[in-house]
Amino acid sequence: MKTDLLITDSLKGIYFPQAGAIDMAHYCQWLLSEIAESQLTVYAESPVTNIQFSDHGWQIVFDPSSGLDKVVDANFQHIIDCRGAAAISFGKLNSELDTALDHLHTTAGQTCQFHSPRLAKQVTQVLCGKVYLIPLADDQFILGSSFEDQASSANSNDLLLKPAIQDQLLEKMNQLLRDSHIPPLTDSELQVIPLQGKRAYRLHAQDRLPLVGPAINAMKLSRDFNKLGQKSLNRDELSHYNQPGYWLNTAYGSHGLLFSMLASQHLVSLICGEISPLNTDISHAIHPARFFIRHLKQK
Ligand SMILES: Cc1cc2nc3c(=O)[nH]c(=O)nc-3n(C[C@H](O)[C@H](O)[C@H](O)COP(=O)(O)OP(=O)(O)OC[C@H]3O[C@@H](n4cnc5c(N)ncnc54)[C@H](O)[C@@H]3O)c2cc1C
């Protein structure tokens, strides 16, 4: 790991001396600087409203408010769809391409940021248990994160912090502190902690594995195999059903940082026809068509 991407004010983990917490803003800036070196164009804050296939390749339709609808008039050989949880909240871009989304869900998560000079003297390392506690500069802490049930996760446009979730996080933190033989925060210390942190949504599949690989033409696959059943389908020849040049790299749940780098290398190898770092079993396990295939008759 690039050590200059670690949050500099947070000390190392207890169990993994080389571990720490990544400064996400710094990490994203580093990724952008890598893109700049390869002279690619990045369009930020530019919602895509549709993706269409023409004889000349894929066309991206931008929201007119971005002004890009007049700027980007190009055909692309390849599109990688990595919309994350917003794919669910904003709705489908293209019903034929988005069939994989039918098998995905979102889970709400919330973090809490607070200030405690007293705890800062005692917690000088990242603590991990049912929650994680990350010490930052100026006696600040980040405490995370909640995993909420489907009912609380249904409206993924709701980004307002929930006081009850923050209370649960603080309660779990106190248990973690007790387990680590560190005096927990007292009731009066807890009462002055303001509602502060972040709330967001994770996109995940039921099997908690990401969707990485080609999007398939579900109608064509269904037409050919609905009667024959899934056992007649040779997984190694599934590429006949690919949407040509349309790829998925999404549904990382709560493991985006850990999984995305390796899984993205796998995707690059599929696109470029190179040898993948993943074996065939793992490649099948993260294939975007896996749920669709499971729903075919078991003959
Ligand atoms: C509270 C919380 C704590 C978490 N903690 C961790 C952690 O400790 N470690 C970890 O690995 N993961 C963690 N996660 C999960 C992490 O957020 C995901 O793994 C990661 O964000 C997935 O990255 P992604 O690029 O697939 O999706 P996202 O980060 O969701 O990125 C998708 C992007 O696509 C954009 N987009 C979507 N639709 C459109 C459209 N139509 N047009 C244009 N742009 C669009 C979105 O705006 C967004 O910027 C946490 C999540 C939450 C909610």
pLDDT tens for each residue of 43-101: 888 889 888 888 889 988 888 888 776 667 788 999 999 999 988 777 777 777 777 77
Pocket of ligand 1, candidates 60, 65, 83: which has the most ligand atoms within 8 Å of its Cβ, to mutate? Answer: 83
Asked whether residue 225 carries a pLDDT value surpassing 90, the answer given is: no
> For residue range 184-220, what is the model confidence (pLDDT) as tens digits?
999 999 999 999 999 999 999 989 999 999 998 888 8
> For residue range 254-270, what is the model confidence (pLDDT) as tens digits?
999 889 999 999 999 99
Q: Which residue from 209, 249, 251 is spatially nearest to 106, judged by alpha carbons?
A: 251
Provide the percentage of residues in the chain whose pLDDT is more than 90: 48
Asked whether residue 107 carries a pLDDT value surpassing 70, the answer given is: yes
Mean pLDDT of 134-158: 86
**Residue 86 CB–ligand 1 contact under 6 Å:** yes
Tokens of 267: 């995707």
More confident residue, 209 or 228: 209
Q: Which residue's C-alpha comes closest to atom 48 of ligand 1?
A: 83
**211 DSSP assignment:** E
Task: State which of 5-19, 67-81, 226-240 shows the largest mean pLDDT.
Answer: 67-81
> For residue range 160-169, what is the model confidence (pLDDT) as tens digits?
999 999 999 9
**Residue 113 CB–ligand 1 contact under 6 Å:** no
**pLDDT for 110:** 97
Q: Which residue's C-alpha comes closest to atom 36 of ligand 1?
A: 83
- What confidence category does residue 13 fall into, taking pLDDT thresholds of 50, 70 and 90? low
More confident residue, 280 or 19: 280
**pLDDT for 8:** 59
Q: Which residue's C-alpha comes closest to atom 41 of ligand 1?
A: 48
**pLDDT for 213:** 96
**pLDDT for 6:** 58
Asked whether residue 272 carries a pLDDT value surpassing 90, the answer given is: yes
Element spanning 267, H or E? helix 256-272
- What confidence category does residue 295 fall into, taking pLDDT thresholds of 50, 70 and 90? confident
**pLDDT for 54:** 84
C-alpha–C-alpha distance, residues 271 and 215, integer Å: 12
Closest atom, ligand 1, to C-alpha of 257: 11
Segment among 52-56, 128-132, 181-185 with least mean pLDDT: 52-56
**pLDDT for 198:** 95
Pocket of ligand 1, candidates 254, 255, 262: which has the most ligand atoms within 8 Å of its Cβ, to mutate? Answer: 254
Q: Which residue's C-alpha comes closest to atom 50 of ligand 1?
A: 254
Mean pLDDT of 270-295: 92
Element spanning 220, H or E? helix 218-225
**pLDDT for 80:** 95
Mean pLDDT of 145-160: 82
More confident residue, 18 or 113: 113
C-alpha–C-alpha distance, residues 185 and 148, integer Å: 24
> Mean pLDDT across the chain, nearest whole number?
86
HEC letters along the chain? CCHHHECCCCCCECCCCCCCCECHHHHHHHHHHHHHHCCCCCCCCCCEEEEEEECCEEEEEECHHHCHHHHCCCCECCEEECCCCHHHHCCCCCCCHHHHHHHEEEEEEECEEEECHHHHHHCCCEEECCCEEEECCCCEEEEECCCCCHHHHCCCCCCCCCHHHHHHHHHHHHHHHHHCCCCCCCHHHHHCCCCCCCEEEEEEECCCCCEEEEEECHHHHHHHHCCCCHHHCCHHHHHHHEEEEEEEEECCCCCHHHHHHHHHHHHHHHHHCCCCCCCHHHHHHCCCCHHHHHHCCCC
What is the CA(225)–ligand 1 centre distance, in A? Answer: 34
